[in-house]
A and B are shown apart, each in its own frame.
Chain A
Amino acid sequence: MTLLDWTILVLRVALPALILPAIVTPLVWVERRVAAFIQDRPGPNRVGPFGLLQSPADILKLFMKEEVVPTSVDRLLFFLAPGLAVFAALSTFAVIPYGSSITIHGEEVPLIGANVSIGLLYVFAITSISVYAIVLAGWSSNNKFSLMGGIRSSAQIISYELAMTSAAAGVILAAGSFRLNDVVGMQAGTWLGFVPRWNVLVQPLGFLIFFVSAFAETNRLPFDLPEAEAELVAGYHTEYSAMHFGSYFLAEYINVIVASAMTTTLYFGGWSLPGFHPSGILGAVASIAIFAAKTAFFVLIFIWVRWTLPRFRYDQLMTLGWKTLLPLSLVNLFWAAAIEMWRMGAGH
């Protein structure tokens, strides 16, 4: 490998990892302003124009604050857990294609961290690490509220992972590949000249299950039971302060972005758009912009839902996951298989 190859590799891997945390800062501001709009109040509008500097100020505060560590914590795991949360959140993005491709010295470089054949499975594997970040925080804090949060989260994430994986299996069945670039590729083009070939139109049920499960996997309202402040103080991160608390905050927002990007990729054509054929640097930039716009749309829905729906009760959460979403995801899988059979039959 030449120096150029190495540079390209490092940039492909490092850029998303650097950009994601940078997006979180304005995203927190967006969340608070949208929340304020929904609740009919002004929201943060004092620091800088439109209050835009509120988030940077808050982050500075998190870095400068004194770290208070309770005496009875398991120190190794207590400090390992927040790092694990951020690591898991950031590394998921590695297999999501965020743009078409650019040509450097006659070599086509796809805009994706790692174009691996097991893309979607890798995402689910990393999701399973993020469970440990929360469970360990709950256990190592030696606090009953933290422990309750950790236990709740492990049960919740495992339960919804089943429905989520089964829903995504429908897409994999249709694409015939775990590679997320192939999933984007199969959604290019149109039916009847104007209807985009997005998976959401073929498997609307699968999309619904995937998106609802994504709320549970990211611990967002209405499924934020691991940190339900009315019952558990702050759940699994009760004992964390300063930037270690900030790490969980950061991981949650990155997870929201990643879940939105996954929804975009699996069900809404990723960076592609009907009638759009990217070429050259401009085309690549346009494809990134398309991807970013679609992802931003779902991030906004995440925020919208958070300030609209109240929190579920724990038994309701479990009933929804096991008795509604899981059977429905199997129905979706049969539907996807039937469509695929019909398509193969029509091809002959």
Chain B
Amino acid sequence: MFEVFAAVAIVFAALMVLSRNPVRSVLSLVVAFFALAGCYVLLFSPFIAVIQVIVYAGAILVLFLFVLMLLNVGPERPEKTGRPIQTLLSGIAIVLFAGFLLSTLRHSGSAAPRALAGEPNVLGRPEALARELFSGYLLHFEAVSILLLSALVGAFVLARRDREPRG
């Protein structure tokens, strides 16, 4: 079951990159996120799974879709392939990354999900997660919220800047 969800997530993540139509890309990503949520459920973390769907699929990607539809972005035209050195370098990067990923997987083995499932899972239960978050990680949590606030204010300032002052 885990393998099925993982495969769906990978296939749709690939479709997200390969699709020429931006709206289809966003939708592929939505499916990938749902598959990922399925993986979390199978890892005994339903809370993370649901938060993942609410935050990413439910809020962020809907906003993406909203902007795409509002601007009416058409399908991308295939770009002309750049210099051959770019193709070569990206090929090397892909091979290197794949090798790195495979070696990491071999060292940790595929036992990672099973080990997690056996533990008294902190991320699975909302109460335990909240206790951790608001005791041991309180400072980090508050710091992140201030970071988000500053990002929000920054976006607002940037959006307002080129508007003429009134009066």
Chain B residues with CB under 8 A of A117: 46-47, 125-126
Residues on A facing B (Cβ under 8 Å): 77, 116-118, 121-122, 124-125, 127-129, 131-132, 135-136, 138-139, 147, 150-151, 154-155, 158, 161, 176, 178
In the bound complex, how far is the Cα of B27 from the Cα of A291, in angstroms?
A: 37
Chain A residues with CB under 8 A of B59: 128, 158, 161
If over half of B's interface residues share one DSSP class (helix, strand or loop), that class is named, otherwise mixed; here it is helix
Chain A residues with CB under 8 A of B27: 77, 132, 136
Q: Are A150 and B69 in contact (CB under 8 A)?
A: yes
Residue tally, chain B, CB below 8 Å to A? 21
B50 at the interface (CB under 8 A from A): yes
B14 at the interface (CB under 8 A from A): no
Interface centre among B47, B54, B70 (most CB of A within 10 A): B54
In the bound complex, how far is the Cα of B23 from the Cα of A135, in angstroms?
A: 11
Q: Are A151 and B62 in contact (CB under 8 A)?
A: no
Query: Assuming A118-B50, A121-B50, A125-B53, is B58 touching A131 (CB within 8 A)?
Result: yes
A-B pairs with the 5 shortest C-beta distances? A128-B58, A125-B53, A121-B50, A125-B50, A154-B66
Q: Are A158 and B63 in contact (CB under 8 A)?
A: yes
In the bound complex, how far is the Cα of B54 from the Cα of A122, in angstroms?
A: 9
Chain B residues with CB under 8 A of A178: 126
Query: Assuming A117-B46, A117-B126, A158-B59, is B66 touching A124 (CB within 8 A)?
Result: no
Query: Assuming A127-B58, A132-B30, A151-B70, is B65 touching A116 (CB within 8 A)?
Result: no
Chain B residues with CB under 8 A of A147: 69
Task: Across the interface, name the chain A residue whose C-beta is closest to B66.
Answer: A154
Task: Across the interface, name the chain A residue whose C-beta is closest to B53.
Answer: A125
Q: Mark B24-57, 1 if CB is under 8 A from A, else 0.
A: 0001001000000000000000110011011001
